[in-house]
Structure 1
Amino acid sequence: MRLALAQIISTDDGEANLAIVERFATDARAQGAELVVFPEATMRAFGGTLADVAEPIDGPWATAVRAIAARLDLTIVVGMFTPGEAGRVRNTLLVAAPDTVAHYDKVHLFDAFGFAESDTVDAGDRAVTVAVGGTTIGLATCYDLRFPALFLSNAVAGARLSIVCASWGAGPGKAEQWDLLVRARAVDTTTFVIAVGQGDPASQGRASTGAAPTGIGRSAVVSPFGEILHQLGAQEGLLVVDVDPGELDAARQKLPVLANRRLDL
């Protein structure tokens, strides 16, 4: 599978962000990618209101993404916001493909490091896997990365790739934690981890907005043994890589953590 990691820096303008999606997706397809992954909050960057842009997955913004996917004949995974309860929204990953539409609502809300996502966001209540080109992928969003059970659930359901879309906040030790966690989740589940974060606004001379998480970059492709195979820096960029999900069979023979796990403890 040839896939692309689109490390962008989204703004508070949904139409401008949609244009960024189209530009990066077009470039990815020109390089032969069949799957392109964008970060969390691609629809609108954190730091402003979200309820005024939230829409259903059949709304105009998501419909435009699906049109891009259909025109380019590829699958797009992208972070957006959908309506929740009582004025809240859901932090949603849209999976748009020519013949498939699916979505995942972030389960673990980021109430940490001085930020309270639960003030404005409703949590999802289920894990989601999706087949892309015959390969099952598991979906996760940012803070989910700190919770191994979600990734294990996806792997047990057949996921061979774990996709993480993030807007990872900066701070002391946060970059090191990101690198550690993307590697750990790969080893926990013997899956490839495809981790795509927002780039760092500082790389464009833009300041972060209050306590809202923006991004640090460092999008990565991690092997089932926890080796970082490819990684971007802080700036925007498109990383196109070839991943062979068939390599998981050999990895799982050598490191059969899924087969050896104990369920009776």
Structure 2
Amino acid sequence: MAKTALITGASSGLGAEYARQLAAKGADLVLVARDRDALDELARQLRATHRVAVEIMAVDLLKPRQRGKVEQRLADESRPIEILINNAGFGLPLAFERNDIDDEVRHLDLHVEVPMRLTHAALAPMLARGHGRILNVASVAAFIPRSTYGACKGWLVSFSRWANLRYAPRGVTVTAVCPGYTHTNFHERMGLAPGKEGVADLMWLDARVVVAESLRDAGRRKAVSVPSWRYKALTTIARFAPPSLAARIGESGR
């Protein structure tokens, strides 16, 4: 039986790249996002190119009833999900005091509550089978003070580290993926024009490299994957830097 991967935030960016690379490896897919048209087009391309089965779930993960459909799909032992990639997310401006508090709550829910619920739904059948992989897309912001985005991603890294220690001996690995600035439409959705984020060209990563390195790290049962030597160095420095310096690093970019 072909392995099946469920990917949230699959309509674009890293989510779509995970779909392309996993399909190229022969995995069937369940693609989850709000934009049905984008999902339909991606599914069409993947079916034609890789001859894999692609299921679409056009849902808003912040709506409990719609999210519940994804949880039910993950828990369906008759159609097992071998790989779960919690990738859905969005960014907000760093000025917490000026952000709408309801936007901040939605931001917290999507980055913390949603992956927690989906991981919980996926774990029971994975543990019963004795194998499975969960990738939680976090960020290098988890290691650097960066408003509520860094706080949410810090939770995801801490949870993934614990879960990997807990469940890897039973065959289910959990990996927090921590990319830096990556060429996707993530920043455009925040209203930022390409090249206007105030980040040096050297620090930008290719989505294909991020996904390939993270899948390799997950295969090696790593709890945390930090793609590229540049960000490995940055996160190492951040661990030992004075808090004031780490905070200044976190203020770069938007």
Name whichever structure is richer in strand by fraction: 1
- TM bucket by the smaller chain? 0.3 to 0.5
Please give the TM-score of this superposition, normalised by the length of structure 1: 0.34
Q: Report the TM-score, using the length of structure 2 for normalisation.
A: 0.35
- Which one has a larger percent helix, Structure 1 or Structure 2? 2
